[in-house]
């Protein structure tokens, strides 16, 4: 879907993107903007929204979906779903709570008359679709229901087959639960050593109609290239001294590993392997260079997986009473960072300073 000339997106229904976490949605959002979609046509789903947008892209996480399905089962309503009826929702909840079979979910989905429920989405895109392969869960049931409410469903995965043929059947349930390929039995029959000609034709038709693959020419020619800039940083002497110490210990342990005569060789080598990995971790940590002032405490804001730590790390506490109440915290430089030549600070209340002796080290 591309922006229309002057008036924005031309589709009459929004597109829904479902992904395992916010990190994936961040990539979707930036890619959509780069492709030319106005940022105003991209929205993150929120349970506080009164209604879905009429156009553009709606981005939903796995957690969002699970929460909305729970609300649906509790008859609290959700803007993602219409009211499928108390009888159907009660059956699905009991099926999920009892750990029922995936085939039962597919069968129940195929009984829904979609003519009674107008489509809410032009496209329903499931990123990393193999993450939703368990159909008898809040996420699996929710994805299947959203598939029924969409003009087209696009499960995206580099590993659609993970554990069993049910994984493929689940993805097809998201697309159309009335198809043979939405059932595990069909996949079992078509993956036998000897398959009839009629089944082979069914497999060919399935692949032609429902599977899209990236060919080699796409991977080698059409993907956007990645530019990498490498800056070599000279280590401080103290860092190198620490590194060399761990390196010598690592090589000594590695020599013992090679010459191990432990009667219980497997256990002995496992212990040595664990020790060597510990040395390697410390070798790496000794060379982690704080290029940015404030070092690692500052770089957390650039990492999606560590960003939640920023508030904790940037919280200023008194070194004496460990409280942050009051506005009289005074910065106390105690050392200089070798790499950035900038001071690292502690803080203290003025009242605490009057009753304690503080020596910088």
- Looking up tokens 């920023």, which residue turns up? 310
The verdict on residue 229 lying in a domain is no
pLDDT of residue 163: 81
Residue 272 sits in the same domain as residue 332: no
Residue 51, number of CB atoms within 10 A of its CB: 6
User: Any residues with CB less than 8 A from the CB of 235 and at least 6 apart, and which?
Assistant: 243, 287, 289
| Structural domain total, the chain | 3
Q: Which long-range contacts (CB under 8 A, 24 or more apart) does 347-354 make?
A: 347/316, 347/317, 347/318, 347/319, 348/318, 348/319, 348/320, 349/318, 349/320, 349/321, 349/323, 352/318, 352/320, 352/321, 353/320
Q: How many residues does the chain have?
A: 361
Q: Which residues of the chain, if any, have pLDDT below 70?
A: 1-11, 218-225, 260-268, 288-315, 324-327, 332-346, 356-361
CB 19 within 8 A of CB 139: no
Please check whether residues 243 and 216 belong to one and the same domain. Answer: no
Domain span holding position 281: 237-286
Domain C-terminal end among 221, 246, 263: 221
59, part of any domain? yes
Domain finish residue from 169, 195, 221:
221
Let me know whether 91 and 52 are in one domain.
Answer: yes
Residue 105 lies in a domain: yes
Predicted pLDDT of residue 251: 92
* Domain-embedded: residue 31: yes
The CB-side HSE value for 257 (13 A sphere, CA atoms) comes to 15
Judge if 207 and 99 occupy the same domain.
yes
Q: What is the 3-state secondary structure (H, E, C) of the chain?
A: CCEECCCEECCCCCEEEEECCHHHHHHHHHHHHHCCCCHHHEEECCCCCCCCCCCCEEEEEHHHHHHHHHHHHCCCCECCECCCCHHHHHHHHHHHHCCCCHHHHHHHHHCCCHHHCCCCEEEEEECCHHHHCCCCCHHHHHHHHHHHCEEEEEECCCCCCCCCCHHHHHHHHHHCCCCHHHCHHHHHHHCCCCCCHHHHHHHHHHHHHHCCCCCHHHHHHHCCCCCCCCCCCCCCHHHHHHHHHHHHHHHHHHHHHHCCCCCCHHHHHHHHHHHHHHHHHHHHHHCCCCCCCCCHHHHHHHCCCCHHHHHHHCCCCECCCCCCCCCCEEEEEEEECCCCCCEEEEEEEHHHHHHCCCCCC
Q: CA-CA distance, 16 to 31, in Å (whole number)?
A: 15
Give the domain-ending residue among 174, 190, 221: 221
| 123 lies in some domain | yes
The Cα 11–Cα 84 span in angstroms is: 26
Residue 115, in any domain of the structure: yes
256 & 344 share domain: no
């Amino acid at each position: 879907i591309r922006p229309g000339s002057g008036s924005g997106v031309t589709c009459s229904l929004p597109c829904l993107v479902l992904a395992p976490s916010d990190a994936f949605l961040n990539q979707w959002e930036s890619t959509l903007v780069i492709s030319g979609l106005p940022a105003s046509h991209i929205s993150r789903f929120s349970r506080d929204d009164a209604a879905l947008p009429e156009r553009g892209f709606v981005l939903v996480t796995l957690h969002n979906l699970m929460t909305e399905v729970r609300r649906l089962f509790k008859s609290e309503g959700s803007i993602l779903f219409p009211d499928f009826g108390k009888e159907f929702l009660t059956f699905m909840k009991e099926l999920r709570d009892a750990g029922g079979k995936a085939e039962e979910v597919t069968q129940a989905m195929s009984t829904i008359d979609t003519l009674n429920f107008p489509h809410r989405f032009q496209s329903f895109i499931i990123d990393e679709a193999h993450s939703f392969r368990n159909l008898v869960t809040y996420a699996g049931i929710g994805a299947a229901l959203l598939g029924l409410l969409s003009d087209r469903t696009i499960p995206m995965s580099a590993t659609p087959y993970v554990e069993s043929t049910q994984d493929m059947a689940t993805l097809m349930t998201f697309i159309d639960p009335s198809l043979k390929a939405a059932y595990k039995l069909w996949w079992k029959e078509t993956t036998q050593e000897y398959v009839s000609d009629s089944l082979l034709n069914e497999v060919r038709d399935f692949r032609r109609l429902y599977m899209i693959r990236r060919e080699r020419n796409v991977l080698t020619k059409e993907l956007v290239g990645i530019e990498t800039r490498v800056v070599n940083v000279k280590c401080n002497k103290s860092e190198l001294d620490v590194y060399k110490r761990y390196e010598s210990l690592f090589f000594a342990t590695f020599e013992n590993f090679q010459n191990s005569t432990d009667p219980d060789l497997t256990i002995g080598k496992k212990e040595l392997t664990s020790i060597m990995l510990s040395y390697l971790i410390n070798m790496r940590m000794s060379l982690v260079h704080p290029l940015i002032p404030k070092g690692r405490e500052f770089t957390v804001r650039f990492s999606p997986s560590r960003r939640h730590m920023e508030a904790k790390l940037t919280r200023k506490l008194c070194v004496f009473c460990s409280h942050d109440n009051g506005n009289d915290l005074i910065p106390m430089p105690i050392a200089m960072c070798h790499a950035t030549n900038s001071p690292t600070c502690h803080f203290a209340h003025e009242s605490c300073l009057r009753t304690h002796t503080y020596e910088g080290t």
